[in-house]
Amino acid sequence: MPGRYAQPELLEPRRGRSGAYLFLAPAMAFLVVFFLYPVLWTVFVSVSDYDPVTATARVEGLSYYREVIMSAALWRSILNTAYFGAVYIPLTLLGAAVLAMLLVGQVRSRPVLKAIFCAPCVVPTVGAALIWRAAYLPFNGSLDRLLCIVGWEHGPGWAGWLGEAYLAMPCIALMCVWRDTGLLALILLSALGRIPRCSYEIARVDGATKWQTFAYVTLPMCLGTVALCLIMLVIRLQNVFQEIYVMTEDGGPANWTVNIPFLVYRYAYIDYGWGRAAALASVLFAVTGIIIVVQNRMLNKRLGWS
Amino acid sequence: MIAKDKDKQLGRGGRRWRAVLVWFLAVVVLLPFAQMIWTAQRPREVVDRSYRYLSQLLPAHEMTRHLEIAPRPLRVALTNSIIVSGTCALLCVVLGAAAGYAFAKKEFRGKTALFDLVLASMAVPPAILMVPVFRLTVVLHIYDTLLALILPFSVTGFAIVYMRYAISAVPDSLIESARLDGLSEAAALFRVVLPSIWPSVLTLAVVQGIATWNLFVLPLAVTASQENYTVAILLGRLMSDFGGLMWNDIMVVVIAALLPIAVVFVVFNRWILKGSTAIGDEHPAGRRP
């Protein structure tokens, strides 16, 4: 019956496939030039003896990788990143969950509260870092002044919250918690809103306690969103760079705030060891790649695109 | 009966406590902003030397005095940021819509692989792209120009993914009828499909504009002169570029950098919230056709 169904064919002529590529071409051209090419170039530089001055290169092998993996700085930066994550991820996720549960009850004032909690994440991170750096100043920062009112004064050797080895990284992490908790809470709130009301009614009819309702209705229904949030947090953890660039400038005190991206920056811009920087960056690409594959699978499953 | 009433009362009390708690948290979240404004309106000497921080208030015109420190670089940076953010937002919508349309409505070879590339571009830490992107701008002869701040960010993975979701919610029949009316495919996309999902388009434009305004790491790698600083770069380089700055001066510049964002945030609040929480929704752009 080709005659009866002629219309779709008329609308989608045989060049339908090339039409798709025409629509894709401009965006993909930008992605290839400014994303894919830099990534591939980085991987190439990591296995060659690239000379930035003459721009010549010869493939050399994995010596940079060996150098990077053997260096103490790498393991130090991994530990620092983990230290940051250990403060940042649980605090943000728990804070967001609590905040979302609290916001569910606030019906009338919810728009205002939403705007307040979302405000930190639209601020440029550099600006936020400057604000927090001022708050962390020794003696004169607002944090120390507040503590002074309570009666907690620091001794004369106090180097400030960002000047103490063990405190600096958690203090930076706290700024990121402040920035991201509200956003995550709103994401979780919209997930809570999608739970059908009848699920709660069934739970109530069955005589479930508040805690049981949370554990067997709310939590399983939000688990997908929570997992997506977790991936988002891990990606943000890998993106932490400008916070350190602004707040401790050189990764001080005694390298306690040098995380992996900052180490790449330091290799490339301070030591001019482009090969080492590229090798480390390539390892990061690989780790990020695995995360993306997981995220992609999850997204596809949720949307039924697989 | 009595037990039931008691239960109800407890519930109401609990609700009140939750309201108190949530507003307390809201105040805590706003504290850093309060500190920013407070520091900015102090006279220059007070913040660093005096301990009597909370004792005296100053008239607002003190703040403009701090602005005299860096008036020209700030004006230039604000202009640059507005140009760059506006252009990037526009390009993101146009290019993202075209690519999103292909991903949403067409079948072609390599669709999965290309979409993986799009997703990958969203997750790679910008700090590790600094060197190659810097080198690329040098090769393309756009290093330290506004073009170097626009071109690398003129389409983002987020824009494409977001437009794919948004356009896949548009019924095929709408596109077909537009084609029957004699519109080309591109015209159907930009004159029929996009207007029909204008809330999503507006959301994307605002979110991308703000995201571009806040970009710091890669722009830092491709700019050298103050003529081409955006606001975020000016903030990041404030202390190394200008000597003798006090924290009150810095906070005034931070406020100046935040004000345009604050205006956009207040005006487009609803759309920003919708776009920001997109990751958690089944269809980030909403189910509206």
Altogether, the residues listed in chain A come to a count of: 306
Extents of the domains making up chain A: 62-280
Banded model confidence at residue B69, pLDDT cuts 50, 70, 90: low
Q: Decide if B32 and A189 are in contact by the 8 Å CB cutoff.
A: no
Q: Which residue, A158, A165, A136, A144, is CA-closest to A247?
A: A136
Per cent of chain A over pLDDT 70 is: 90
Residue B289 has pLDDT above 60, yes or no: no
Q: Decide if A225 and B39 are in contact by the 8 Å CB cutoff.
A: no
SS3 call for B83 = helix
- Looking at residue B13, its pLDDT comes to 67
pLDDT digits (tens, 9 = 90+) for A238-282: 889 999 999 988 887 888 999 999 999 998 888 888 888 889 988
The CA distance from B73 to B255, in Å, is 15
Burial of A73-94, coded b for 16+ CB within 10 Å and e otherwise, reads bbebbeebbebbbebbbebbbe
Average pLDDT, integer, range A91-101: 93
- Looking at residue A139, its pLDDT comes to 78
Banded model confidence at residue B193, pLDDT cuts 50, 70, 90: very high
Q: At what angle do helices A37-46 and A274-303 cross, to 10 degrees?
A: 140
pLDDT digits (tens, 9 = 90+) for A209-231: 888 888 888 888 888 788 888 88
Q: Which residue, B157, B165, B160, is CA-closest to B122?
A: B157
Structure tokens at A289: 């790649």
Contacts of A30 in chain B (CB under 8 A): 95, 151-152, 154-155
Contacts of A189 in chain B (CB under 8 A): 277
Enumerate residues 136 to 165 of chain B having a beta carbon within 8 A of any beta carbon in chain A: 136, 151-152, 154-155, 157, 160
Ramachandran angles phi, psi of B233, nearest 5°: -70, -40
- Between A150-164, B156-170, B190-204, the lowest mean confidence (pLDDT) is in A150-164
pLDDT digits (tens, 9 = 90+) for B196-222: 988 889 989 998 999 999 899 999 999
Contact of B131 with chain A, judged by CB distance below 8 Å, is answered with: yes
How many Cβ contacts (< 8 angstroms) between chains A and B?
Answer: 270
Average pLDDT, integer, range A277-291: 85
Residue B232 has pLDDT above 80, yes or no: yes
Q: Decide if A34 and B136 are in contact by the 8 Å CB cutoff.
A: yes
Average pLDDT, integer, range B95-108: 92
- Looking at residue B65, its pLDDT comes to 65
pLDDT digits (tens, 9 = 90+) for A107-135: 788 888 988 998 898 889 999 999 999 88
Q: Decide if B47 and A302 are in contact by the 8 Å CB cutoff.
A: no
Average pLDDT, integer, range B8-30: 79
Contact of B121 with chain A, judged by CB distance below 8 Å, is answered with: yes
* Stronger pLDDT, B131 or B243, i.e. the higher one: B131
Contact of B245 with chain A, judged by CB distance below 8 Å, is answered with: no
Q: What is the CA radius of gyration of chain B?
A: 24
Structure tokens at A77: 């930066």
| CA distance to partner chain B, nearest, from residue A27 (Å) | 5
Nearest CB to B160; choose among A27, A36, A183: A27
Q: Which amino acid is at B214?
A: N
Q: Does the interface predicted TM-score (ipTM) exceed 0.85? A: no
SS3 call for B110 = coil
Banded model confidence at residue A193, pLDDT cuts 50, 70, 90: confident
Altogether, the residues listed in chain B come to a count of: 289
- Looking at residue B94, its pLDDT comes to 95
Residue B50 has pLDDT above 60, yes or no: no
What class does CATH assign to A62-280?
mainly alpha
Burial class (CB in 10 A: 0-12, 13-18, 19+), A270: exposed
Burial class (CB in 10 A: 0-12, 13-18, 19+), A172: buried
- Looking at residue B284, its pLDDT comes to 38
Residue B135 has pLDDT above 60, yes or no: yes
The CA distance from A80 to A84, in Å, is 6
Burial class (CB in 10 A: 0-12, 13-18, 19+), B7: exposed
pLDDT digits (tens, 9 = 90+) for A29-64: 999 999 999 999 988 888 887 776 676 777 777 888
Nearest CA in chain A to B97: A23
Residue A28 has pLDDT above 90, yes or no: yes
Q: Which residue, A52, A73, A47, is CA-closest to A279?
A: A47
Contacts of A38 in chain B (CB under 8 A): 129, 132-133, 136
Residue B138 has pLDDT above 80, yes or no: yes
Banded model confidence at residue B288, pLDDT cuts 50, 70, 90: very low
Residue B93 has pLDDT above 60, yes or no: yes
Residue B58 has pLDDT above 70, yes or no: no
Average pLDDT, integer, range B80-101: 95
Nearest CA in chain A to B259: A123
- Looking at residue A13, its pLDDT comes to 46
The CA distance from B67 to B252, in Å, is 7
Contacts of A124 in chain B (CB under 8 A): 213-214, 216, 231-232, 235, 257-258, 261
- Looking at residue B40, its pLDDT comes to 80
Contacts of A194 in chain B (CB under 8 A): 281-282
| CA distance to partner chain B, nearest, from residue A288 (Å) | 7
- Looking at residue B70, its pLDDT comes to 62
Ramachandran angles phi, psi of B282, nearest 5°: -65, -50
**What is the overall mean pLDDT for chain B?**
81
The CA distance from B240 to B226, in Å, is 12
Nearest CB to A134; choose among B130, B176, B251: B251
The CA distance from A43 to A278, in Å, is 7
- Looking at residue A275, its pLDDT comes to 86
The CA distance from A250 to A166, in Å, is 16
- Looking at residue A187, its pLDDT comes to 87
Residue A4 has pLDDT above 60, yes or no: no
The CA distance from A245 to B235, in Å, is 12
- Looking at residue A80, its pLDDT comes to 93
Please spell the DSSP secondary structure of A55-89, one letter per residue: TB--B--SHHHHHHHH-HHHHHHHHHHHHHHHHHH
Task: State the best of B51, B122, B128, B282 to mutate against chain A, taking most chain A CBs within 10 Å.
Answer: B128
- Looking at residue A263, its pLDDT comes to 92
Q: What is the CA radius of gyration of chain A?
A: 25
Contacts of B26 in chain A (CB under 8 A): 113, 116-117
